[in-house]
Amino acid sequence: MASDSEKTDAQRKRASDKAEQILQGATQVFLAQGYDRTSMDRVAKTAGVSKQTLYAYFSDKQALFEALVARMAKQRFQGAFADESLDGNPDAVLPPLIQQGLASLAQDTEYHDFIRIMIGESKRFPDLIQTFFSNVTLPTIETIRHYLESQPELDIPDAEATAHILLGALVFYMLTQEVMGGRDILPMSQDRLSASLIHLLGVSKSSSSEND
């Protein structure tokens, strides 16, 4: 009957919605509690579905977690400051890039939770780390590297290694200050860090360039 086909269409459309709905609830719970302390009961309740529905979409806890990580990684892929194609002279490009990168890393508390669980479970789920690296870290490194290579005046002999250093400084800041909560015992401001990074890269804020 008509109601039958309508129902089928509605279900098909809702199928991906249900998966999304589950993943959103799961994300909340996993990021707040960590992998082991997250129960499927609570995921089902938070997502507003029954456990049967939950297990219909995801075969077990591990599969759910894997889908969650893949989703977060893809989300980051288009959200990070990795997609902007950079050009223009360093004096104009690097300071805002560093400041905005640092600010966005420092602000995103959901990302802090994600990083915490990624590192914490990296030994147990090595494949997930590959997903994360290839979707998030590697594109970021490549973007920075490409820009550094395009600016010979920066005099950077190894752009890839320098990209690791640059990103490393930003990530370490996020880790100590936000992910691990060391603001009080290791105080450091975003401004001081970015100013020192810019200084190390040899970017002059004025027009003079003093090279030997």
- Interatomic CA distance for residues 108 and 111, integer angstroms: 5
Long-range contacts for 195-201 (Cβ within 8 Å, ≥24 apart)? Answer: 197/98, 197/166, 197/169, 198/94, 198/95, 198/98, 201/90, 201/94, 201/154, 201/166
181 binds a copy of itself (CB under 8 A): yes
**Binder of a copy of itself out of 121, 143, 144, 151 (CB under 8 A):** 121
168 binds a copy of itself (CB under 8 A): yes
Kindly report the three-state secondary structure assignment for every residue of the chain: CHHHHHHHHHHHHHHHHHHHHHHHHHHHHHHHHCCCCCCHHHHHHHHCCCHHHHHHHCCCHHHHHHHHHHHHHHHHHHHCCCCCCCCCCHHHHHHHHHHHHHHHHHHCHHHHHHHHHHHHCCCCCHHHHHHHHHHHHHHHHHHHHHHHHHCHHHCCCCHHHHHHHHHHHHHHHHHHHHHCCCCCCCCCCHHHHHHHHHHHCCCCCCCCCCCC
52 binds DNA (CB under 7 A): yes
51 binds DNA (CB under 7 A): yes
**Binder of a copy of itself out of 119, 153, 205, 209 (CB under 8 A):** 119
Decide whether 48 or 168 has the Cβ nearer to a copy of itself.
168
**Binder of a copy of itself out of 51, 124, 153, 205 (CB under 8 A):** 124
Decide whether 31 or 47 has the Cβ nearer to a copy of itself.
31
Decide whether 47 or 105 has the Cβ nearer to DNA.
47
Decide whether 55 or 77 has the Cβ nearer to DNA.
55
Q: How far is the CB of 33 from a copy of itself (least distance, A)?
A: 9
**Binder of a copy of itself out of 1, 5, 185, 211 (CB under 8 A):** 185
Specify the stretch interacting with DNA by CB under 7 A; choose among 36-44, 103-111, 128-136, 169-177.
36-44
**Binder of a copy of itself out of 27, 137, 143, 151 (CB under 8 A):** 137
Residues in the chain: 212
103 binds a copy of itself (CB under 8 A): no
Binding site for a copy of itself (CB under 8 A): 34, 36-37, 113, 116-124, 126, 129-130, 133-134, 137-138, 141, 156-158, 160-162, 164-165, 167-173, 175-176, 179-182, 185-186, 188, 192-193, 195-197, 199-201
